[in-house]
Structure 1
Amino acid sequence: MKIGIILGNGHTPHPGELGRAVEQRGFESLFYPEHTHIPVRSKRADGTPTRNYARTQDPFVALAAAAAVTSHILLGTGVCLVPQRDPFTTAKAVATLDDLSGGRVLLGVGAGWNREEMADHGTDPRTRMALMAERVKAMRAIWTEDEASFHGEFVDFEPVWAWPKPARPVPVLVGGNGPGTEDRVLDFGDEWMPQCGPLETVDELRDRIARLRDRAGRYVPVTLFGVPHRRDLLDQFTQAGVDRCLLPIQGPDTATIMSTLDALVPLLG
């Protein structure tokens, strides 16, 4: 089992300091979430306010700072909100980060849940899944073709030049727990990235992983994020077929977050 860290909402330490601390303590990876902004009027599905999400740093800028002071931890997005991003700009950011970090990027992608935030980006929530699929496919073309082109319903461009190219295919981790998520993994993803909270049981997760791998005809790696800080759960998820667990950390200040990291080190053994 690989164990990484995913930054929660609220206070954000300097990413260089956090990246160095994560690597020095022996964690495998560091993931950053994404929200460009939070509309004041928006609330979560359960009616709770979403203000803390507004403190989220740009994941690619933050991960670049972490990359500059680390040598081997993997650097991921958890998740990049592709439907709210220009595919050319995102492809460039991912490829540049991968180049600067020596091939350490994991691109977690998701369609988002904050409809007000989507609307501010001009994104129609009803078509965001199809939009995400086309943008990821377009980015793959940009990363792999010297003269890249793409023709879809939402993304359409004639041949373009764009460098740098990733030294190796950047793994795309498709986030989500809904019934159509596996279809999206098979359509444009390399790995599945479900969230721990919405899962009903470990047995359900085991069954979904097995069915996904059977449908794919290949081994599909699974990264589970938002995992509670418990050894028994890590063991259960290992038995269920999960490859990587991301432990969330958050706190009111940097000292609290660093203390949390220290407390999590025994889970690595």
Structure 2
Amino acid sequence: MKFGVSTFVTDDGIGPAALGRALEERGFDSLFLAEHSHIPVSRESPWPGGPELPRHYYRTLDPFVALAAAATVTERLLVGTGIALIIQRDPIHLAKEVASLDLVSGGRAILGVGAGWNREEMRNHGTEPKTRMRLLRERVLAIKQLWTEEEAEFHGEFVDFDPVFSYPKPVQQPNPPVYIGGSGPTTFDRVVEFGDGWMPILGRGTDNFPEQVAELRERAGRRVPVTVFGAVPKPEIVADLEAAGADHVLFNLPTEPEAETLTRLDGIATLIK
């Protein structure tokens, strides 16, 4: 089983290059970064994690810029989004960003995607919350076309473009893995149709995790990779996740200054030795 961290890189915490280097030095396999383009001042959407939205949600760096910084100072660290709000991003630009990250990193990019929860934020991008799942589907399918076809085209309800050249192509073939976030009633439909892995947040809809993993793999007819997002770094949790069939555990890393982060990573690293 592989181990990494999921975190928010901000302008008042440890920098992405220092974090990437520290993770690889301690034997972690991956770094997954969250994103929010902005947070509207007037918020109506409830945050799934509690009544108060933490400070780091307001201050995230662009994940692809931050992951590129981490990739350039590491050799083995997987660099991924957890999650990219694909419903708020232009698919042609996003295909180029991820392919560029994959090229810069030598084939280490992972695109974790989700539809998000902040309806005010997505509306600022022109996204209708009620149709965001259909939009997510089309954008993933379109991005995969842009990655894999010499002359890519896509014609859907929300995404529509005639044949185009899109470069660079990713290093990973046929494409960088696309992990589908969430654990709702239709999540497995998306994983089976257009995902390369499942990435649920531990504790949010994962009460029957072993059964869910088995169900997903049975439905897909293949061993779908499962990455658990936001795990608490405790030995018993790691043991339970491994027994359930998880392939990759991402420990939740609070956003803190460099010195505090390095100390915290030293403690978490004892679980992966």
With normalisation by structure 2, the TM-score equals: 0.95
After TM superposition, the structure 1 = structure 2 runs for residues 45-60 of structure 1, keeping only pairs within 5 Å, are 45=48, 46-60=50-64
Q: For residues 124-143 of structure 1, what are the structure 2 equivalents within 5 Å?
A: 124-143=128-147
Check conservation: 1:38, 1:51, Cα contact below 8 A.
no
Q: Give the C-alpha shift of residue 12 in structure 1.
A: 2.9
2:127 paired residue among 123, 130, 139: 123
- Cα distance in 1 for residues equivalent to 2:13 and 2:203: 22
Alpha-carbon separation, structure 1, partners of 2:9 and 2:80: 16
In structure 2, C-alpha distance between the alignment counterparts of 1:245 and 1:70, rounded to whole Å: 20
Deviation at residue 6 of structure 1 after TM alignment? 1.0
Amino acid at match of 1:198: R
2:5 partner SS? strand
Report the 3-state secondary structure (helix = DSSP H, G, I; strand = E; otherwise coil) of the residue aligned with 1:267. coil
Structure 2 partner of 1:89: 93
Gaps of 5+ in 1: none
Give the SS at the match of 1:159. strand
> Equivalents in 1 of 2:53, 2:168: separation in Å?
40
Counterpart of 1:44 (choices 47, 50, 56) is 47
The CA distance in 2 between the partners of 1:199 and 1:67, in whole Å, is: 32
Q: Output aligned runs, 1:1-269, within 5 Å.
A: 1-8=1-8, 11-42=12-43, 43-45=46-48, 46-168=50-172, 169-201=175-207, 204-269=208-273
Find the aligned partners of 1:177 and 1:212 in 2 and give their Cα distance.
11
Partner SS, residue 168 of structure 2: coil
Output the TM-score relative to the length of structure 1.
0.96
RMSD: 1.3
CA contact (8 A) 2:112 2:179 kept: yes
Q: Distance in 2 between matches of 1:200 and 1:32?
A: 21
Divergent runs of 4+, >4 A: none
**For structure 2, which runs of at least 5 residues remain unmatched after alignment?**
none
The one-character-per-residue Cα deviations of 1:29-75 (angstroms, maximum 9, x if unpaired) are 01110101111122525432354301111000000001111001100
The answer to whether the 8 Å contact 2:7/2:255 transfers is: no
Query: 1:9–1:250: 8 Å Cα contact kept in structure 2?
Result: no
- Cα separation, partners in 2 of 1:117 and 1:50, compared to 1, 3 Å: farther
> For residues 128 and 62 of structure 2, what CA distance do their matches in structure 1 show?
22
